[in-house]
Amino acid sequence: MPETPEPFSYSALKHDFVSSITKIDREDWNRLAGKENPFTRYEFFEALEVSKCTSKESGWQPHHLVIRIEEETVGILPLFLKTNSYGEYVFDWSWARVYEQAGLNYYPKLISAIPFTPSAGERVFLSKNVARAPLLKSIVAILNDEARENKFSSWHLLFPEAELSRELSERGAIQRVGTQYHWFNRGYKDFDSFLLTMSSRKRKSIRKERNAVSASGIRFRIIEGPSITHEDWGKFILFYLTTYAVRGQAGYLNKDFFKRIGESMPDQLFLIFAVRNGEDIAGALFFKNKTHLFGRYWGCLEEEAFLHFETCYYQGIDYAIANEVKVFDAGAQGEHKIKRGFEPIMTYSNHWLANPQFAAAVTNFVNEEKPHIEEYMSEASLMLPFKTNV
């Protein structure tokens, strides 16, 4: 029989907020978080911090919460002190404006999230040897106290799994819902067998897009993480930064970050390059585990009709089918994904605000917002290209 987790009293807990992941033992972090989700691994957070992508200057100052009983680390909550709302993908700019109009400071705020990565997953890393409910209750109390004592306006937890979001909601953290689009592998033998589930018109549309890319002379090559060379990384980084630069923006991530994850977690990533006349002209970086494929970053030197869709979506679907991956999470937003077979799914976030009046206002806002999102998801499901919606 499995061991029953040990109960504990709040007084037995010790906690620290640390300003760097390097102050947390790598083995403790990965023991609690696991390595299956590439975005919650120690190595991913370490690469972000050491490369200065997460820093006080970028508005993502590490402020991780570590919980101990005696000398054992039993809980870790990735946490950041935010002075803006960039790179979060759960938009609260309007909340900040209302605070400002009332003469109050919305920033700094506390955020538990994977920086620049709107992918759902576990957010609170807890030991299985300690009862979950009282430990989670204690963490919520610690966060509330930290916000009040330091005059932080709020704390937020972004893209948790549904169960954690429900648990936090029961403990006073307002639940907000959103929508993303994921592709699900239903045992397809190849891309054509996937297309055969669609109506004739939708099937022809996708084939037309793929054929247009092929007719332009573009081919694709896949490079698994351990085989990615420094030259490959250099090309991809150039594509990524160029795509931001043409819009007059700077990418959230930099050369050092990509090279670090390439060295520290190569088995969980791969590159897809678009090639024309022997030259790489575009590329996309994907992450993976046993069940999920994650499309995250892309860039190009030459714009071409449907090249983004082919590189980031269709090539990803091909890879998922070939490798029997169950779910393809291609990133945030993008209603255009629906007609390409990506299905709407619900996402969650939780929010606690120190000011009671604003907490009540946000509660009203998300309660009014939720039925509209649910209605949209129902309508979006009717837009799916399948002969019979799955």
Instruction: Specify the CATH number for the domain of residue 78.
Output: 3.40.630.30
Question: CB of 280 within 8 A of CB of 235?
Answer: yes
Do 165 and 195 have their domain in common?
Answer: no
| pLDDT range class, residue 9, cuts 50, 70, 90 | low
| pLDDT range class, residue 390, cuts 50, 70, 90 | very low
Give the mean pLDDT of 91-113: 96
Do 241 and 311 have their domain in common?
Answer: yes
Do 206 and 234 have their domain in common?
Answer: yes
Other residues' Cβ atoms within 10 Å of the Cβ of residue 367? 12
Do 171 and 199 have their domain in common?
Answer: no
The SS3 assignment for 331 reads coil
Domain total for the chain? 2
DSSP string, 291-315: SEEEEEEEEESS--TTHHHIIIIIH
Do 159 and 228 have their domain in common?
Answer: no
**pTM attached to this predicted model:** 0.94
Instruction: Report the pLDDT value the prediction gives residue 1, as an integer from 0 to 100.
Output: 46
Do 257 and 278 have their domain in common?
Answer: yes
d(CA 342, CA 348): 18
Instruction: Report the pLDDT value the prediction gives residue 12, as an integer from 0 to 100.
Output: 80
Do 14 and 153 have their domain in common?
Answer: yes
Helix then strand then coil, % of the chain, to nearest 5 = 40, 25, 30
pLDDT, tens digit, 9 for 90 and up, residues 320-361: 999 999 999 998 778 899 999 999 999 999 999 999 999 999
Do 48 and 157 have their domain in common?
Answer: yes
| pLDDT range class, residue 10, cuts 50, 70, 90 | low
Give the mean pLDDT of 184-201: 97
